[in-house]
Amino acid sequence: MKILINSIMLLLLLACKSKEQSVNEVIWDNVQKNDQKMPTPQTGDWLSYHKEKGQTFEQYKKSKYVQPTKNRNIIYVLPIGNFDAKQNELIQYTAEYLEIFFNLKVKCYKPVSDSIIPSNAKRISTFDVEQLWASYILNPFLKKRLPEDAIAFIAITEKDLYPEPSWNFVFGLATDNLGVMSIFRLLENENYTLCLERLIKVISHEMGHMFSVSHCINAVCVMNGSNTMEETDKQPNRLCSDCLKKLSWNLKFNDRKRLERLLKFMEKHQLKKDYELISKDL
């Protein structure tokens, strides 16, 4: 009797799994239909400087991708700097977005002052602003503080970042389960909708890398490389079908539910362009 019950449960489980799988596949097909071809790179664009190989879904599945486990499945966010009330609010919304985008629990720490970063990991840039050394923040700073149950740990800095002394600046940097991004260049504008649109774009891009997704050349996508704010502004807060499949497969999305939640987020924050794109995907 016990064997019979067990096998019925197993069948039910398999039936549920395949149903969810097919629901996801319907969404994947729809997303693929809505994928937009990448435009020819203009001078100054990311692809005019960087030869990207791309990464198919099959290649992703064969790679050593980062995957949450029973004991390591939380995304931690640590704001570093003195943020004003509006900036703190934007960081909270960003944390909410990450929870929906990656289908994982997100814990956001209270901000810490950047006096915690030693002076040899700071510099005054050629354009006269103080910058923090992104590579130092990743390792040893975040690495030393990585919580036991963290699948990803990302810092958001108020100040500008540089990856290494020869570079002018960087929007963000990520390796394995550690990441850092700066709001400095994203929030130069008084338009808070645009600021939020940029924040969620840069952070989900960096965190996409943290879950082993490479730069995308398949279609217009949040995982496309970007050289400038102008280029970033042209990109959508949307995963193309290839990148969606990778994260959906790895992070066990219910793609319909996820897109519905993303749509609500876009509606609440009046992110009109992204709202329209996601409505079509649904």
- Residue 198 DSSP class: H
Q: Does 240 help bind Zn ion (rule: CB under 5 A)?
A: yes
183 contacts Zn ion (rule: CB under 5 A): no
Tally the residues of the chain: 282
Q: How far is the CB of 202 from Zn ion (least distance, A)?
A: 9
243 binds Zn ion (CB under 5 A): yes
Based on the shown chain and the rule CB under 5 A, indicate whether residue 259 belongs to the binding site for Zn ion.
Answer: no
Binding Zn ion (rule: CB under 5 A), the pick from 156, 221, 263, 278 is 221
CB of 251 to Zn ion, least distance (A): 15
- Token duo for residue 100: 């929906």
Among 156, 216, 277, 278, indicate the residue that binds Zn ion (CB under 5 A).
Answer: 216
Interface region with Zn ion, contact rule CB under 5 A, candidates 63-71, 119-127, 175-183, 239-247 = 239-247
Question: Helix, strand, coil proportions of the chain in percent (round to 5)?
Answer: 50, 15, 35
Closer of 111 and 205 to Zn ion (Cβ): 205
Task: Compute φ and ψ for 224, nearest 5 degrees.
Answer: -65, 145
φ, ψ (nearest 5 deg) of residue 195: -60, -45
Catalytic hit among 58, 148, 206, 260: 206
Piece in contact with Zn ion (CB under 5 A), picked from 19-27, 105-113, 192-200, 212-220:
212-220
What b/e readout covers 183-215, taking b as 16+ CB neighbours within 10 angstroms? bbbbbeeeebeebbbbbbbbbbbbbbbbbbbbb
> Does residue 27 belong to the site contacting Zn ion (CB under 5 A)?
no
Backbone angles phi, psi at 114, to 5 degrees: -80, 5
Which neighbouring-strand residues pair with 79? 156
For residues 129 and 96, what is the distance between their CA atoms, to the nearest angstrom? 30
Bond prior to 236 in cis (omega within 30° of 0) = no
Closest approach, Cβ 118 to Zn ion, in A, equals 27
Q: How far is the CB of 72 from Zn ion (least distance, A)?
A: 23
Active site annotation includes 267 = no
# chain residues binding Zn ion, by CB under 5 A: 6
Q: Which residues pair with 57 in a beta bridge?
A: none
Is residue 156 involved in binding Zn ion (CB under 5 A)? no
Residues at the contact surface with Zn ion, assessed by CB under 5 A = 216, 218, 221, 223, 240, 243
Residues annotated as part of the active site: 206
